[in-house]
Amino acid sequence: MHTITGTWDVRLKTPIGTLETRYTFTEDGGTLAGTAEGQGETGTLEAITVEPTTDGERVTWSQKVTRPVRLNLDFDVIATGDLLKGHSHAGRLPRTQVSGTRRA
């Protein structure tokens, strides 16, 4: 089972303010799947990858959002225990800092 499996409360520090989203990662037969809920919409995570690192697990995924604006986001985070930290990126926009904690 991967470190990322579970439900996470995630904060994205964007130029328009901090957005809070709940991410849920599940694993079935070694295959990861994920969803994101926030800003009035629920979306499916795509292209989830996990690589072990000396600091935890590096997890990447893509996500399409329509609120507050329509964007294709790419995430790159390190999950260590009950914490995750990293960034997201959307096209030419600056990187957004991402942090989160696992729900009990």
pLDDT in tens, 6-49: 999 999 998 778 989 999 999 998 899 999 999 889 999 999 99
Q: Report d(CA 98, CA 36) in Å as an integer.
A: 14
What pLDDT is attached to residue 23?
98
User: What domain range is 20 assigned to?
Assistant: 6-95
Q: Per the structure, how many domains does the chain have?
A: 1
Query: How many percent of the chain have pLDDT more than 70?
Result: 100
Whether 69 shows a pLDDT value over 80: the answer reads no
In a domain, 37, yes or no: yes
Mean pLDDT of the chain: 93
In a domain, 62, yes or no: yes
In a domain, 1, yes or no: no
Q: Report d(CA 88, CA 33) in Å as an integer.
A: 18
Query: How many percent of the chain have pLDDT more than 90?
Result: 75
In a domain, 78, yes or no: yes
Whether 92 shows a pLDDT value over 90: the answer reads no
**What's the alpha-carbon Rg for the chain, to the nearest Å?**
13
What pLDDT is attached to residue 16?
79
In a domain, 101, yes or no: no
In a domain, 47, yes or no: yes
In a domain, 102, yes or no: no
In a domain, 83, yes or no: yes
